[in-house]
Amino acid sequence: MKNLFIAIVVLFTTVTSIEAKVKVSTASYQKMGKKWVKAAKVVPGTKVKYINTLSNSGGSNATNLVIVNTIPKEMQYIANSAKCKGKCTITYSVDGGKSYTTPRKLYVKKGSRKIRAKAGDYTNIRWVVNTLKGGSKKTVQYDAVLR
């Protein structure tokens, strides 16, 4: 069994008012039977769900919130699993977070050739949440499997 390591970076770019109070909490879950439980120790092949919950306890809207999750090296991102409740933009990185774009535009070097990146090549996921209304919550999430 391996202890699950979670590496997450959260950045906020713009808050529309000083009254917006945004907090982000992060948790990881693994499926046990039919239930999802907090992940502690997982074995290779185990699917893990990473969920970031954004809460705005202020009275004003927060806009353009940027959430970046580093995919742990021992994990492999599961294709098309990144989700956002509400309007947001999801982009990916294959270079440790130096640049982000859509999957169609991601390439990696294999020897002397450039080939389109696969989900297992992704190193980071970035969500830009358009608006988080005052007094509301949203989640962004993705799934990965322990290599």
pLDDT in tens, 68-99: 999 999 999 999 999 998 889 999 999 999 99
CB 128 within 8 A of CB 12: no
Fold observed for domain 2-146: Immunoglobulin-like (2.60.40)
Share of the chain above pLDDT 90, in %: 80
Global pTM reads: 0.84
DSSP 113-124: EEEEPPGGG--E
- φ and ψ of 119, to 5 deg: -55, -35
Out of 40-44, 54-58, 124-128, least confident range: 40-44
pLDDT (tens digit, 9 = 90+) per residue, 1-42? 555 544 444 444 444 445 789 999 999 999 888 999 999 889
List all residues 6 or more positions away from 31 whose beta carbon is below 8 Å from its beta carbon: 37, 47
Dihedral (C-alpha) 15, 63, 91, 89: value to the nearest 10 degrees?
180
